[in-house]
Amino acid sequence: MMSALAFANPAILFGLIALPIIWWLLRLTPPRPKTEVFPPLRILASVLKREETPSKSPWWLTLLRMLLAAAVILAIADPVMNPRANSLNAGGPLVLVIDNGWATAADWERRVETADLLIDDAESADVPVSIAFTADASHEPVPGTAAAARDKLAAASPKPLVPDRARAAEAVSEAMNGTRPGTLVILSDGMAAAGDNEALSALAALSPTDMRLIEGDGHSAVALTDAVNNAGAMSVTATRLSTSAQQLLTVNALDTQGRALASGVLEFAAGAATATAEIASPFELRNDFARLNIEGLATAGSAHLLDDGFKRRRIALLAGESGSDFQPLLQPLYYISRALQPYADIIQPNTADLSVSIPQILEGNPSAIIMADIGRLPAETYAPLQQWISRGGTLIRFAGPRLAAAPADDPLVPVILRQGERALGGAMSWSEPQSLADFPSFGPFAGMPRAADITVTRQVLAEPTPALAERTWASLADGTPLITEKEVEAGRIVLFHTSAEATWSNLPLSGNFVEMLRRLVQLARAGGAASSGTGTDGAAVTLPPYRLLTADGILTTETGTARPIPIAAGETPVASFDHPPGLYGTEDGFTAVNLLAPKAVIAPFDAAAAGRPVVREGLAGGEAVSLRPALFAAAFALLVLDSLVVLFMNGVFSRIPRGPRPSRGAAAAAIAALAFGLVAFVPGQPLAQEMPPGSGAKPGDEQILERLDTTHLAYVVTGEADVDRLSEQGMEGLSQFLTYRTTLEPGAPVGLDISKDELSFYPIIYWPISANAPMPSQATISRIDAYMRNGGTVLFDTRDQYSALDGGGTTPNGERLQAILANIDIPPLEPTPSDHVLTRSFYLLTNFPGRYTGSPLWVEARQEARNTGAQLSSSGDGVTPLLITGNDFAGAWAIDTQGAPVMPTVPPDEMQREYAYRAGVNIMMYMLTGNYKADQVHVPALLERLGQ
Amino acid sequence: MASIGQIVEQTPSSEVLSRAQARAALVPDCMVEAKRIANTVIAGWHGRRKRGMGENFWQFRPYAEGESLSRIDWRRSARDDHTYVRDREWEAAHTVWLWADMSPSMMYRSTFAHVSKESRALVLMLALAEILARSGERIGCPGIMEPVSARNAAERLAAAIMHAPLTTGLPETSMIRGQSDIVLIGDFLDDADKVMERIAPLGRRGLRGHVVEIADPAEETFPYAGRTEFTDPETGEKLVSGRAEMIREDYQRAYLARREALGEALRRLGWSFVFHRTDHLASEALAAVHGYLSGMPAQKPGGLQSGGGMP
């Protein structure tokens, strides 16, 4: 029997001898005081009387420090609380029956440790050791040396299987061969398995002197047993071993890459062994689920593999009549497609010709084909359809008048049908409309509640045959089958004996219809029919292992000793030694083999069957509690306490709030700095507001301010030197004229590079079009567009009045203008009407000559004028975004530095120049005043309204 | 760090003689210093400022009946119709007793001061002796030197001190008679009541007294911090303060209260009280004491506080 408290490093305990020395050293503190001669000692004494002045540390401080030292020494000695009692019976060999099923993966290390300790004990007791692993395929439990047993133990690993204790017990019994074991230890995973009773009685028959059962706490024995795809969520069922406490677990759904797609919460109520989690996610996402995993558990049981059964199906719909789009509720396919749309991809042929559409559909290899009321198919389509079904296709048919009228030898119905339909509850019938009977316990509808609200008034009847009952998945209350099926090799034919629309029954209107169709579709193979060549023999398909699950719940490509698994239709494959859980098949299609059957429940291992007392123990290492961390923590706490005491005794705390001292200033500064730091990090503090004004200034601001100060006339720098010079002179001339005649005193003209310069400062931009100038880029044109959209005006001047007259066609300048405007959203234009504001915004003008005369000035067409034809002028709300002329305004306005005109007018008439200036003034006034001048037209009406 | 205060001359308490020698060695330096500061004070010397027997002119006043005609100043009287008498300044010699405390506590000097309290006391005493001797007073030192009237009285006092035995406490004062002035220089660290017990009989005998308290700055400001053991240089008592800075304010209050009480008691006795810190200039104290001696209280020069004055 080991002591309750053991030390890993007992030698360190000699350090405790040093404690008196430490005590002596501690007594020396505090250090000797400074010695000061002080003549007015008597005055000081009168003050000092109140204060205790210990020359040595108080005893409790010394004690504190002694405890601190002792704690450190003890911590280094590493005491361990480990009362592991072990006494092997030396009267016979030690028999170890070790479970290495899936639930042991989580604490396998501790199990090995426990077994190791037992083997150690056996070695010291000098008894042979027999060891057997219950989940292994083969057992070699011949008693051997401890070293051999250790080797076996090291070689063993947890298997993703349910242990088979009976086989192991049998092997042990054989190996012992009558020898009476001294101690028999079952290192159990705590879960009951099939054959436990036999195993226990076999082991008890060995009549060991001592029989022990060692179990873990079983907290990791949680397994996913089933996953069902419901309408809105995937429902995951799990079972667990320890049912005592409430338990919350998270179930993650992973895709093939191992990425978590969705998760649900598995909530075990206290006392409940099973729980169900709902993983709510869109159906499309659920198609990508490849695996379910309990978070935090890494066992084969906590992983649940999903296969094609969960994939979204492709369903082809066929109807006997195309029907009318105007009466959708009478169409048979309407209800089916509405019911299936959430769960399946629906293919509808684009032609009503079945001889064309069926091969087309089969080419797409759908999971299922639904035929609503099709009596006869084109003869050549039967063979390919049958072939498709035998390869795994599912054909779902609905009855109807056509099917009822079809000949009885239809090979694509599951049962032999009588000719004609049966009407129930009609005017000429005695019988009542029939409701549904309970769903049979087999078939896809098993478990669905009875659909009491469904009544069937018409149906097609099946000829009674001996096999009819087992082919019936649903029947009416009077026992006539409503849904029958027939398996055709790998495929299946399902027939609804009533119609798919609401004329024969109200089944299509019911929610059960959706559920029934969904279940049927789930039955269909996701990949459609298997490719021709495999599985045509009709025997069970044998699938090779593709990916296998390890005991840790991880998929590996290593298939090891796994053998191909025969998959019988409609049978859930079971994991075994030869077929460990995993995916079987190929990359294109595989079947999941899971560890536990869908309804499996984990029950605790019951050793009562042994029929004799069994000592129960826990795993080793469970109670081994190292006191080291606690001692170090205590030492640290004492250190902190000691520091605080020393600081307190030195008056640190009382010093802080006391009178003025240099350190106080420093402390205050530090606190202030800290506070400032905190404030600086408080989010949202508008510290940036403190910036001095002007610091945000950017280069070019001065220029902008200057531009904003006074109005400037602007022109576009085309890149052609003489045009640009003339533009500048023209703007200068107009500026001078404006200054002279009006209150508008523009600043110096500005030449604009419209690809770069800011345009928004100028009310109007004069753009002399020159075919020789480079074409502005698209970005530049869009800048101009934006400028016009934002209220600016561009005055395009093609300067081609007379050249246009010459040719009679479009001039190069005009073409250039058209090219520029091609990408601009320009409004409809019209020549300036005689009542336009432009004609009277300053001067009264009838036309707008420039150097030339005769070209109209095009402006935006007024909406009102066009719509109403009203004579009373004035749209004017908003200024026209562009003006187009060919009269070469700038040429007429241009003056040189002396103020003399640069260019002669054509014809040479100084009055024309005067009118050109007046046109410029009117344009500028129009730009700056907008519709104000237009409003003047209303003045008489306004005055009249005011009663004058 | 070095301790703030120290005893200037490490003198074994038993060897009185050697300490006397040490003091004697100190005296010449003090004499030099005393002459220097005496000169600064004498520069502003204006006699006794009283009418009386002397050689210097004091004032003209109208002749009163019965006065000696020989005292009439005819030159002045001739200027108008009145007769004037020329008064001369009173120059009667006084006896001034000077005494400085030489107890071990006076040998204290802190790092804040340039000289020890004893040195400062000697300087003040000798400087006063020099000044008074120049103005013809009789200088005495109780228990050390009989009053003498000589120009070199300061030197003679210094010589007497050098040879004097060590004394502690106030000296024997029975030989002091009549209307003398007495100047007591010391640190007066005892209770005010105890000091007054000694001084009060002198005052009641009609002596005019002037008390100069010499203090070291460390004694007044108590610049100690942390764990400190304090030793009394006279008794050898020890006191340990765990946190010296904690009692600073209390100590200062007690120290100043003692000084206040002493000054108040002396003022009631009609004596003057000057206190002086060794980190200030000696001439400040000298001017203050001299002002009191000459009947003109000092005008509270900067840096010097006056604890009391003549009524």
C-alpha to C-alpha distance for A283 and A278, rounded to whole angstroms: 13
Asked if B233 lies within 8 A of A659 by C-beta distance, the reply is no
Note whether B192 and B258 are within 8 A (CB). Answer: yes
* B125 lies in the same domain as B67: no
pLDDT of residue A727: 92
Instruction: Convert the pLDDT of each residue in A398-439 to its tens digit.
Output: 888 778 777 777 888 888 887 777 776 655 566 778 888 888
| Model confidence at A360: pLDDT above 60 | yes
- What fold is seen in the domain A94-219+603-622? Rossmann fold (3.40.50)
Residue B56 pLDDT = 67
Q: Are residues B190 and B107 in the same domain?
A: yes
- Segments of A89-151 assigned E as strands: 94-98, 129-133
Distances, alpha carbon A701 to alpha carbons A563, A584, B299, in Å: 83, 75, 70
Whole-angstrom Cα distance, residue A101 to residue A162? 5
Q: What mean pLDDT do residues A58-79 have?
A: 83
- Interface mutation vs chain A, best among B7, B13, B214, B227, most A CBs within 10 Å: B227
In whole angstroms, give the CA distance from residue A388 to residue A533: 12
Closest chain A residue to B104, measured at CA:
A39
Domain-embedded: residue B300: no
The CATH class, in words, for A702-938 is: alpha beta
Search chain B and give the residue with CA nearest A41: B232
Looking at the fold, whether B181 and B129 belong to one and the same domain comes out as yes
Q: Give mean pLDDT, residues A877-884.
A: 78
Mean pLDDT of B270-284: 86
Note the pLDDT of residue A243.
77
What is the helix (H) or strand (E) element at residue A277, kind and residue range? strand A274-280
Single-letter residue type at A362: L
Retrieve residue A716's tokens: 């576009």
Mean pLDDT, chain A, rounded, equals: 78
**Helix axis angle, B282-293 to B117-134, nearest 10°:** 40
pLDDT at B255 over 80: yes
Asked if B41 and B81 sit in the same domain, the reply is no
Residue B309 inside a domain? The answer is no
The pLDDT of residue B221 is 87
Same domain, B62 and B120: no
| CB interface of B with A, residues 153-172, below 8 Å | none
Interface contact A945, partner B, CB < 8 A:
no
- Beta-carbon separation of B231 and A651 below 8 A: no
Which among B111, B168, B232 is the top mutation candidate for probing chain A, defined by the most A β-carbons within 10 Å of its own β-carbon? Answer: B232
- Enclosing domain of residue B66: 57-88
B226/A34 CB distance under 8 A: yes
B78 and B158 assigned to the same domain: no
**Is B89 part of the contact surface with chain A (CB cutoff 8 Å)?**
no
> Is pLDDT above 60 for B83?
yes
Residue A857 has pLDDT above 70, yes or no: yes
Q: What is the mean pLDDT of residues A680-703?
A: 52
- Indicate whether B299 belongs to any domain: no
Do residue B239 and residue A44 have CB atoms under 8 angstroms apart? yes
- Would you say residue B268 lies in a domain? yes
| CATH code of residue B269 | 3.40.50
Residues of chain A with Cβ-Cβ distance to B190 below 8 Å are 42
Q: Per mean pLDDT, which range of A162-176, A290-304, A685-699 is the poorest?
A: A685-699
Euclidean distance between CA atoms B31 and B128, whole angstroms: 11
pLDDT for residue B10 = 39
Contact yes or no for B228 and A53 at CB 8 A: no
Q: Which residue has the higher pLDDT, A2 or A905?
A: A905
The mean predicted confidence, pLDDT, of chain B is 77
What residues have CB less than 8 Å from A355, skipping those under 6 apart?
A378, A380, A381
Q: Which of B108, B229, B254 sits opposite A34 (nearest CB)?
A: B229
Considering only residues A798 and A81, tell me which one the structure prediction assigns the higher pLDDT. Answer: A798
- Closest-CA residue of chain B to A32: B227
Q: Which of A263, A262, A363, A374 is nearest to A318 (CA)?
A: A374
Residue A124 banded pLDDT, cuts 50, 70, 90: confident
Same domain as B146, residue B69? no
- Determine the topology of domain A322-523 in CATH: Rossmann fold (3.40.50)
With an 8 Å Cβ cutoff, is A41 touching chain B?
yes
pLDDT digits (tens, 9 = 90+) for A42-56: 788 877 765 544 556
pLDDT band at A569 (very low <50, low <70, confident <90, very high): low
At B306 the pLDDT is: 40
Displacement of CA A889 from its chain's centroid (Å): 65
Task: Indicate the pTM of the whole model.
Answer: 0.40
Tally of structural domains, chain B: 2
In the three-class reduction of DSSP (H, G, I as helix; E, B as strand; rest coil), residue A345 is classed as: strand
Would the CB atoms of B247 and A34 count as touching at under 8 Å?
A: no
pLDDT in tens, A701-737: 777 887 788 888 999 998 888 899 999 999 999 999 9
In this prediction, does ipTM exceed 0.85?
Answer: no
Are residues B197 and B73 part of one domain? no
Which of B286 and B262 is assigned the larger pLDDT? B262
Q: What is the reported pLDDT for A196?
A: 81
- When scoring A37, A50, A648, A664 by the number of chain B Cβ atoms within 10 A, the one with the most, hence best to mutate, is A37
- Contacts by A759-763, CB closer than 8 A, 24 or more apart: A759/A714, A759/A783, A759/A784, A759/A787, A759/A792, A760/A787, A760/A790, A760/A792, A761/A704, A761/A707, A761/A708, A761/A712, A761/A714, A762/A707, A762/A712, A762/A713, A762/A714, A762/A792, A763/A711, A763/A792, A763/A793, A763/A924, A763/A927, A763/A928
Residues B231 and B252 in one domain: yes
Among residues of chain A, what percentage have pLDDT more than 70? 82
- The reply to whether domains A94-219+603-622 and A322-523 share a CATH topology is yes
What token pair was written down for B58? Answer: 């004091």
Contacts of A651 in chain B (CB under 8 A): 242-243, 245-246
DSSP string, A413-461: SSSPEEEEEEE-S-TT--SPPEEB-PPPSSSTTTTPPP-TT-EE-EEEE
d(CA B129, CA A586): 126
- Across the range A559-569, mean pLDDT stands at 73
The nearest CA of chain A is from the CA of B233 a distance in Å of 6
pLDDT for the residue numbered A703: 78
B103 and B232 assigned to the same domain: yes
Residue-wise DSSP of chain B:
---SEEESS---TT-HHHHHHHHHHHHHHHHHHHHHHHHHHHTT-----SBSSSSSEEEEEE--TTS-GGGB-HHHHTTSSS-EEEEEB-----EEEEEE--SGGGGEEETT-SS-HHHHHHHHHHHHHHHHHHTT-EEEETTTEEEE--TTHHHHHHHHHHHSPP--SS---TT--SS-EEEEEE---S-HHHHHHHHHHHHHTT-EEEEEEEE-HHHHH----SSEEEE-TTT--EEEES-GGGGHHHHHHHHHHHHHHHHHHHHHHT-EEEEEETTS-HHHHHHHHHHHHTT------TT--B-----
State whether B121 and B170 are in the same domain: yes
Q: How far apart are CA A234 and CA A447, in angstroms?
A: 17
Asked if A36's CB is within 8 angstroms of B231's CB, the reply is: yes
Which of A584-588, A657-661, A707-711, B44-48 is predicted least confidently? Answer: A657-661
Distance from the Cα of B131 to chain A's closest Cα (Å) equals 31
Fill in the DSSP letter of residue A42.
H
Interchain CB distance below 8 Å, B255 and A43: yes
Q: Which residue in chain B has the smallest CA separation from A40?
A: B189
**pLDDT exceeds cutoff 50 at B44:** no
Across the range B118-124, mean pLDDT stands at 85
User: How high is the pLDDT of residue A916?
Assistant: 93
Report pLDDT for B301. 41
- Cα→Cα distances A1→A87, A582, A807, A831, Å: 8, 47, 124, 117
* Annotated domain spans of chain A: 5-81, 94-219+603-622, 222-309, 322-523, 541-593, 702-938
Residues B145 and B281 in one domain: yes
